[in-house]
Amino acid sequence: MPDASAFDRRRGRCLVCGELLGVEPHLIVDLPDGEHVKCRDWTKHAFPYARVLRDLRRRYKAIREAVSPEVLVRVVGLGRWLAERQRMWPEGAAETVLESGQRFDAVLPALREAGVTIR
Ligand SMILES: [Zn+2]
């Protein structure tokens, strides 16, 4: 039986700086090890939200018809932020990744409630 603690994320190390991953935001790369969001060499990774941005653009008309004006303002705000971050990428990549969760949380549940699914 493998030792379950070997899979404990808190024991994983950052493959870049060598420190414990701990509670700092990180991505698991090779369980239990990974990379801190701030340590990862983002120049080697494509903009991770291209699909979300593309979905928002493609489905804009359906979104506009399905949501309240208040939600639409938030959706447009998210789209603009993503587009700007995509243009800048990989500049500010770690901040973008760290900030994205909060921004998605402010918009995606409202879209789901309105019956619009964005992956
Ligand atoms: Zn690190």
Q: Read off the pLDDT of residues 6-36 as tens digits, 9 standing for 90 and up.
A: 455 458 999 999 999 999 999 999 999 999 9
Q: What is the distance in A from the centroid of ligand 1 to the CA of 52?
A: 27
Residue 90 lies in a domain: yes
Cα separation of 54 and 56, whole Å? Answer: 5
Tell me what pLDDT residue 11 has. 84
**pLDDT band for position 65 (50/70/90)?**
very high
Q: What is the distance in A from the centroid of ligand 1 to the CA of 38?
A: 7
Residue 8 lies in a domain: yes
Q: What is the mean pLDDT of residues 74-101?
A: 97
Domain interval for residue 29: 4-36
**How many structural domains comprise the chain?**
2
- Does 19 share its domain with 51? no
Residue 64 has pLDDT above 60, yes or no: yes
- Does 20 share its domain with 76? no
Tell me what pLDDT residue 48 has. 95
Higher pLDDT, 4 or 61: 61
Q: What is the distance in A from the centroid of ligand 1 to the CA of 119?
A: 28
Q: What is the distance in A from the centroid of ligand 1 to the CA of 9?
A: 14
Contacts of 86 (CB under 8 A, 6+ apart): 47, 49, 50, 53
Residue 19 lies in a domain: yes
Determine whether 94 is exposed, middle or buried from the number of CB atoms within 10 Å of its CB (0-12, 13-18, 19+).
Answer: middle
